[in-house]
Amino acid sequence: MGIECRLLTVFCSALAIVNCSSTLETVVEPSLYLERESLDAALLGKWTRSCALCHVNGEAGAPIVGDTESWAERLTKGEEALIESVIQGINSMPPLGYCMGCETDDFRSMIRFMSNTST
Read off the pLDDT of residues 63-111 as tens digits, 9 standing for 90 and up.
Answer: 999 999 999 999 999 999 999 999 999 999 999 999 999 999 999 999 9
What is the CATH topology of the domain spanning 30-115? Cytochrome Bc1 Complex; Chain D, domain 2 (1.10.760)
Q: Domain ranges for the chain, please list them.
A: 30-115
Q: What is the pLDDT of residue 6?
A: 47
Q: What is the pTM of this model?
A: 0.68
CA distance 24 to 59: 14
Read off the pLDDT of residues 20-46 as tens digits, 9 standing for 90 and up.
Answer: 444 444 344 444 444 445 789 999 999
